[in-house]
Amino acid sequence: MAKEYQKEDLTILWDSAKCTHSAVCAKGLPNVFKPRERPWIQVENDTKETIRQQVLKCPSGALSIKQVL
Ligand code: SF4
């Protein structure tokens, strides 16, 4: 089951089972993706669009954008 993180109308999904711990997210946007902290995704620290762009770079698909139907 993926966890959900909300930033305005953007819902970020994180599926821990898919995460390969490549740290692409933490290196690309360290103010938001903080694996050592809880919550580890701190959406308040950057803009929706910047976060969306970083989510799309996740190589494993662990991070994704929830599609609104
Ligand atoms: S970029 Fe994706 S696979 Fe890599 S650590 Fe972040 S969530 Fe996990």
Query: For the segment 30-66, what is each residue's pLDDT rounded down to a tens digit?
Result: 999 999 999 999 999 999 999 999 999 999 999 999 9
The pLDDT of residue 28 is: 98
Residue range 3-65 in CATH 3.40.50.11030: no
Position in ligand 1 atom list of the atom nearest CA 60: 3
Which sequence spans correspond to the domains of the chain? 3-65
pTM for the complete prediction?
0.95
**What sign has the CA pseudo-torsion 60, 64, 58, 37?**
negative
Cα(67)–Cα(69) distance, rounded to whole angstroms?
6
- Binding-site residues, ligand 1, Cβ < 6 A: 19-25, 58-60, 62-63
Position in ligand 1 atom list of the atom nearest CA 22: 4
The pLDDT of residue 68 is: 79
CA nearest neighbour of 3 among 35, 52, 53, 40: 40
The pLDDT of residue 1 is: 85
CA nearest neighbour of 45 among 57, 22, 68, 29: 29
Query: For the segment 12-38, what is each residue's pLDDT rounded down to a tens digit?
Result: 999 999 999 999 999 999 999 999 999
Residue nearest to atom 4 of ligand 1 (CA): 22
Q: Residue 39: left (phi > 0), alpha (psi -120 to 50), or beta?
A: beta
